Amino acid sequence: MPEHFDYIVIGGGSAGYAAARTARETRERVAIVDAADTLGGLCILRGCMPSKTLIYSAEILHLAKLADRFGLNIPVAKADMPRLHQRKLDTIAEFAEYRQEQLASDRFTLYRSKASFTGARELTIADGTVLTADKFMIATGSSVAWPPVPGLKESEPWTSDDVLELDHLPESVIVLGGGVVACELAQLLHRLGSRVTQIQRSPHILKEHSPEASTVIEEVFRGEGIELITDTQLQQVERTEKGFRVTFEHAGKTIVREAAHLLNALGRKPATDGLGLDKAGIELRKSGHIVTNELQQTTNPDVYAAGDVAGPHEIVHVAILQGELAARHATGRTAQPVDYDALVSIVFTDPQIAYVGIPEPDLKERGIDYVSADYPFDDHGKSILMEAKHGFVKIHAEKSTGRVVGAECVGKDASELIHSLAVGVALKATAADLLKTHWYHPTLSEIWTYPLEDVLDG
């Protein structure tokens, strides 16, 4: 006989665990199905935590190499790759252990297996066991994408997983892509001491952010010594005796670059292969994401989806919000859709990029009458004394009310600075409201007062 549950989650990452935990608040029989060799999910094991651990170390190394600017004498500064790797392992171990303990606790029934839908409310796992449930959650995340570039997949280049496991310094690396992962890892590798060439198809890297923000990062990358080539068309990837050869078109010419290693950072895709979604009546978008409504229900109302597999934003805190929302709705409780108009998005390059609220192109598309104001870091006291002069802050406010609807920060610690405005956007505060705050001097945060005052005056 099939094993029946109140709620079954497929995938034990951020979205899946959040959904299982929330469902367990009111339901006794909750199961989690996860086929990963190691439990924990992308963020903890192969994403946010290991990458930011390494990026922070590389930032310290970068500053040490600039010691003269700060009146310091640091004769030698270089990466100790085995120790760097071990620090990363030690740092993420506690997070991973906690998640694994939670998933394997007696609060849930855990199946370490692959699962596939064999009916509208039926799963079959690898050993043939049949599971049924009142409600389901799909939270299988994403996997590395392999665009149809001749020779790319066959040459077996690195993915982000491989870079995050390095215990030695690669002599040279070609990075394919200009998204968040590509940019963060290109700068990481360069600052650790590798020779890096980054090749991007679009005219700008980080194209999901404003051209002004992307331009700042491009200038910094090139200034640091990364060979960044944008507006290209990849032609071929080859494995050679010494490493890799990449052929591409740029400015009407055929260009070749060679390096000891190649990183495929051309994006990720929703992990839906083998789930048998058609047998459950679950449809996909053209992007490959599972179709969901504002409550995370798929085209099968008893099945929900959250996180990278659903989109529209592949961000951990969004995955958690979606998972909690879906589980609350599935268990008959009040559930408010995720407010994407208060979305926070961050890129951990240096300088960092951070945005909250409605992006400026969307403001225009929606016909929202707004005013904007910005201010540069190179005219700000704290950033000047920190030698952190790259970038700017920018605020968008609804013209009729002064309500802040969006804010962008490109600069030192933008990931921290953005939350001052994130609170304001979420609470629908006006520029006048935010100026009631005591903005301490000298801090990086007080830079927000300048565009806030301009918006208020405008």
If you search the block for the tokens 């409605």, which residue do you land on? 358
* Per-residue confidence (pLDDT) for residue 39, from 0 to 100: 84
Are 378 and 327 in a shared domain?
A: no
DSSP result, 63-127: HHHTGGGGT---------HHHHHHHHHHHHHHHHHHHHHHHTSTTSEEE-S-EEEEETTEEEETT
Output the CA torsion sign for 383, 384, 386, 389: positive
Strand partners, 247: 236, 256
Are 276 and 138 in a shared domain?
A: yes
How distant is the alpha carbon of residue 264 from its chain centre? 16
Reported as a single tens digit per residue, the pLDDT across 345-374 is 999 999 999 999 999 999 999 999 999 999
**Residue 450, CB-side half-sphere exposure with 13 Å CA sphere:** 15
Q: Please work out, in degrees rounded to the nearest 5, the angle formed at the alpha carbon of residue 224 by the alpha carbons of 222 and 229.
A: 25
* Per-residue confidence (pLDDT) for residue 95, from 0 to 100: 87
* Per-residue confidence (pLDDT) for residue 46, from 0 to 100: 85
Has residue 379 got a pLDDT over 80? yes
* Per-residue confidence (pLDDT) for residue 40, from 0 to 100: 83
Which of the four pLDDT bands, split at 50, 70 and 90, describes residue 455?
very high
Which of the four pLDDT bands, split at 50, 70 and 90, describes residue 42?
confident
Mean pLDDT of 61-67: 97
Under DSSP, the state recorded for 290 is B
Strands 142-144 and 195-199: unpaired
The answer to the question of residue 301 being in a domain is yes
pTM strictly above 0.85: yes
* Per-residue confidence (pLDDT) for residue 16, from 0 to 100: 96
DSSP result, 230-268: -SEEEEEEEE-SSSEEEEEEETTEEEEEEESEEEE-S-E
Has residue 43 got a pLDDT over 90? no
Are 276 and 204 in a shared domain?
A: no
Decide: helix, strand or coil at residue 383.
helix
CB atoms within 10 A of CB 274: 11
The answer to the question of residue 422 being in a domain is yes
Alpha carbon separation from 152 to 134, 242, 361 (Å, rounded): 43, 16, 34
Strand partners, 33: 10, 111
Are 254 and 288 in a shared domain?
A: no
CATH number of residue 21's parent domain? 3.50.50.60
Has residue 458 got a pLDDT over 80? no
Are 211 and 66 in a shared domain?
A: no
CATH number of residue 406's parent domain? 3.30.390.30
Q: Please work out, in degrees rounded to the nearest 5, the angle formed at the alpha carbon of residue 410 by the alpha carbons of 405 and 413.
A: 105
* Per-residue confidence (pLDDT) for residue 1, from 0 to 100: 84
No. of H helices and E strands in the chain?
13, 21
Reported as a single tens digit per residue, the pLDDT across 111-143 is 999 999 999 999 999 999 999 999 999 999 999
Which of the four pLDDT bands, split at 50, 70 and 90, describes residue 320?
very high
Host domain of residue 128: 3-143+269-339
d(CA 370, CA 403): 9
Which of the four pLDDT bands, split at 50, 70 and 90, describes residue 208?
very high
* Amino acid (1-letter code) at residue 114: K
Are 95 and 26 in a shared domain?
A: yes
Are 55 and 177 in a shared domain?
A: no
**Residue 336, CB-side half-sphere exposure with 13 Å CA sphere:** 3
Q: Do residues 46 and 160 make contact, with C-beta atoms less than 8 angstroms apart? A: yes
The answer to the question of residue 155 being in a domain is no
The answer to the question of residue 148 being in a domain is no
The answer to the question of residue 150 being in a domain is no
d(CA 396, CA 376): 15
The answer to the question of residue 411 being in a domain is yes
* Per-residue confidence (pLDDT) for residue 37, from 0 to 100: 85
% of residues, the chain, pLDDT over 90: 94
Has residue 44 got a pLDDT over 90? no
Torsion of CA 322, 405, 398, 435, to 10 degrees: 140
Has residue 41 got a pLDDT over 90? no
Are 34 and 124 in a shared domain?
A: yes
Total number of domains constituting the chain: 3
Q: Do residues 197 and 227 make contact, with C-beta atoms less than 8 angstroms apart? A: yes
% of residues, the chain, pLDDT over 70: 100
Are 280 and 422 in a shared domain?
A: no
Mean pLDDT of 81-85: 97
d(CA 98, CA 82): 25
Which of 419, 352, 33 has the alpha carbon at shortest distance from 183? 352
Under DSSP, the state recorded for 279 is G
Which of 390, 315, 320 has the alpha carbon at shortest distance from 355? 315
Which of the four pLDDT bands, split at 50, 70 and 90, describes residue 446?
very high
Has residue 153 got a pLDDT over 90? yes
Mean pLDDT of 12-41: 94
Are 10 and 112 in a shared domain?
A: yes
Are 368 and 438 in a shared domain?
A: yes
Are 251 and 301 in a shared domain?
A: no
The answer to the question of residue 152 being in a domain is no
Decide: helix, strand or coil at residue 52.
helix
Q: Do residues 217 and 183 make contact, with C-beta atoms less than 8 angstroms apart? A: yes
Average per-residue pLDDT for the chain = 96
Q: Do residues 19 and 9 make contact, with C-beta atoms less than 8 angstroms apart? A: yes
